[in-house]
Amino acid sequence: MLCLIFLLSLSGKNSYINPPFNNLSTNENAISRIIQKIANDIKTDEPTRTVLLIPIFEGMDGHMYETQARKAKFLEIASFPAESFCFVAPEAFSVGDEHTPGSFKGKVGLYLAANKSSLKIDPIDWDTLTEDIKRWSQTACRKSVMICKSTLEKFSERIQLQYNPRVPSYPCHTQYYNSSTIYHYYDFSIKPSNEFEHLKKYVRDENHLRLLNRMNHHDRFAAVLGILPNQLIRMITEVKPDDKHAILKDLRLTSFWQGYRVWRQRMNLYREYWRDKVPMCLKGKPEVLHKCVNPFHYLTLVNPMKAPSLGTCNCSAQLKVKKNKRKLEVKGNMKIDNWLVKVRVVEEKKSIQIRNKTTVIDGTDELDYNDLCGLDHKHSPASTIPLDSQKDKHLRIRTSSQVVLEEQDRKKRLKLS
């Protein structure tokens, strides 16, 4: 059993491991190797988590496994006092002892190893989890359990995700019935096979036996859509010719709508999974800080201005600061502003040269600067601003649309001249 732990990969799985203290055949330390394997297997994008029991002995070397688990970024859930945690020793299965629970003489630590995708896709309500452990320990343990305060602080400073973790598709309180032993053309759990000998116990008519045997080879997907096998239709026609239309209609509608109910529930789960739960890196869109391997990477801090607890990251706060900087850069882009100022200066110089040239040709000393903005006031109404203020007009900042209009008018005047 111990060899299977090292042969199988834990990536993408939820596991519970009660490791042996050592390998009795080789007298090798097994807990240290298991902690190292778990630390390597959670380095993946697939949601992976493992719950691990770690013994705590007395003395300096007694906390060796506990220290190794903390260095691997495992989260301590709780610790059980000495002689309070009762369980079947892992070595009992290999040496042939009776499998009777007994209390462990030392302390026992309960640790959680999870990667960032696991806490994102399957969020943990830490308050509910700890309350369940306390309630269980009151009946199963001799002494009350001690919840780790540092891990509680790490979860309390994060915003709780607003969706539930994944659960089995069949709740414990739901009761399911097995398919009929005679006809099960709609059941995916039963593979098509030759059942002629098996059906002889229930059906005596050989014609009906052949029809039933062939009917159970019907396509399961077609049955879910309400498409009945031809053998069933033929049998109902022979047995109940007067009520065949009502029976066939009821079978078709029941098969279709029950199949649609399962399909709709599954589509809702898929939609929620890909819309809210899956990280962007699994959608083919790498994030800015996607290289962070901290399990709290995707959990947003309640107070981004406050430094996070030791062993966690503040990537969510950094992403928020970068987004705010981008918005500020868009609002006040200095490159665009400098370009507009340069264009304004160049256009003003050109307009002054054109104005001086027109003054020499017409022999006039004064020129209404507003008339140069367009022929017969095409783009702007007649100016009512005094002449003194119009002379200083080039000192005022104009919009880009005004610059473009003046450039078009300048080209028209050059063509006419």
What average pLDDT does the structure give for the chain? 77
CB 351: neighbour CB atoms within 10 A? Answer: 19
Q: Is the pLDDT of residue 252 over 70?
A: yes
Structural element, H or E, at residue 52: strand 49-56
Q: How far apart (Å, rounded) are the C-alpha atoms in residues 384 and 401?
A: 21
13, 46 Cβ separation under 8 angstroms:
no
Same domain for 101 and 151: yes
pLDDT given for residue 59 in this prediction: 73
Same domain for 136 and 102: yes
What does the pLDDT look like over 378-415, one tens digit per residue?
444 444 545 444 444 444 566 777 777 888 888 788 77
Same domain for 23 and 139: yes
Q: How far apart (Å, rounded) are the C-alpha atoms in residues 335 and 314?
A: 32
Name the one residue in this structure whose structure tokens are 């029941």: 254
372, 355 Cβ separation under 8 angstroms:
yes
Same domain for 254 and 206: yes
In a domain, 306, yes or no: no
Phi, psi of 103 (to 5 degrees): -80, 140
Which domain-ending residue is among 276, 299, 322?
299
Same domain for 294 and 185: yes
Q: Region 156-174: what's the mean pLDDT?
A: 74
In a domain, 366, yes or no: yes
In a domain, 350, yes or no: yes
* Counted domains in the chain: 3
Same domain for 214 and 69: no
What does the pLDDT look like over 207-228, one tens digit per residue?
888 888 899 899 989 998 999 9
Same domain for 133 and 189: no
Provide the residue range defining the domain that includes 35. 2-156
Higher-confidence position of 275 and 331: 275
Q: How far apart (Å, rounded) are the C-alpha atoms in residues 269 and 276?
A: 11
Distant-in-sequence, close-in-space partners of 86: CB < 8 Å, separation ≥ 6 = 101, 102, 103, 104, 140, 141, 142
In a domain, 329, yes or no: no
pLDDT given for residue 293 in this prediction: 83
Same domain for 291 and 393: no
Q: How far apart (Å, rounded) are the C-alpha atoms in residues 153 and 75?
A: 12
Task: From 270, 316, 336, select the one nearest 161 (Cα to Cα).
Answer: 316
Same domain for 182 and 149: no
In a domain, 323, yes or no: no
23, 53 Cβ separation under 8 angstroms:
no
Q: Region 13-39: what's the mean pLDDT?
A: 76
Q: pTM of the prediction?
A: 0.60
Same domain for 211 and 281: yes
What does the pLDDT look like over 318-354, one tens digit per residue?
655 555 554 444 445 555 556 666 666 677 777 777 6
In a domain, 162, yes or no: no
The one-letter amino acid at 247? I
Least-confidence region, from 149-158, 294-303, 331-340, 395-404: 331-340
Which domain-ending residue is among 299, 320, 349?
299
Same domain for 275 and 192: yes
In a domain, 317, yes or no: no
In a domain, 136, yes or no: yes
Same domain for 101 and 13: yes
What does the pLDDT look like over 126-135, one tens digit per residue?
999 999 999 9
Token pair belonging to 158: 């994060």
Phi, psi of 78 (to 5 degrees): -160, 170
Q: Region 93-116: what's the mean pLDDT?
A: 76
